[in-house]
Amino acid sequence: MSLIAQSLSELPIIAQQIIDFAGNNRIFLFYGDMGAGKTTLIKSLCSVLGSKDNITSPTFAIVNEYIAAQGKIYHFDFYRLKNQNEALDLGSDEYFYSGNYCFIEWPEKIPDILPANYVKIAIKVMPDNSRQISLDKI
C-alpha cells in the first residue's frame, strides 16, 4: 500500500489508515532518510491511538514510553546504537513482545533482533517535498 502526504494536515488521516492497515500488528518499523518525517508521523500515530503525551524523538534516551487509550506505546530511536547488543541490554525484546505498540526508528541498526512480524513503513521525500509512505506487512 502506498500513501502520499502533501502536507502535515493530512497526517491524522494517513495515521488512521496505517493503524487500520496494521490490523492486529503492533510492531512498526520506520525507514527513511534523516529528516524524512519518521518522528512526525509517529506523533500522528500516537495521537490517533489516543495519547495526550508530548511525543519527542528518543534520540538520546533510545526509548520513550507514552500512555494511550489502549495501553502503552514504546517509541525507539536506534540511530545512535553502536551495535545490536546495546538494544538487547536495554531489554528491547521485552518491549517488542509486550503486546504494546512499538514504533521503531532506524531498525536497520538491529536487523538480527527484530520480531518476525511487523508493519514496514518506508518514507521517501519526493521532489515536490511531499512524502511517499509505503506500507508492507511482514
The single residue listed with the C-alpha cell 493503524 is 19
Q: What backbone phi and psi angles, to 5 degrees, belong to 130?
A: -75, 175
Closest Cα to residue 42, out of 18, 62, 60? 18
Domain ranges of the chain: 2-137
Residue 59 confidence (pLDDT) above 80: no
CATH architecture observed for domain 2-137: 3-Layer(aba) Sandwich (3.40)
Dump pLDDT digits (tens) for 14-46: 999 999 999 999 999 999 999 999 999 999 999
Fill in the amino acid letter for 42: I
Mean pLDDT throughout 80-100? 93
Report the DSSP beta bridge partners of residue 77. Answer: 105
3-state secondary structure (DSSP) of residue 27: strand
What pLDDT is recorded for position 57?
Answer: 84
- pLDDT of the residue at 77: 95
Beta strands in the chain, from DSSP E residues, in sequence order: 2-5, 27-31, 63-68, 71-77, 101-105, 119-125, 131-137
Run of H or E including 20: helix 11-22
User: Where does the pLDDT of residue 60 fall: very low under 50, low under 70, confident under 90, or very high at 90 and above?
Assistant: confident
Average confidence (pLDDT) over 59-72: 89
Total-model pTM: 0.94
Query: Does residue 67 register a pLDDT over 80?
Result: yes
Nearest-angstrom CA–CA distance, 135 and 124: 12
Res 28: pLDDT? 98
Report the pLDDT value the prediction gives residue 97, as an integer from 0 to 100.
95
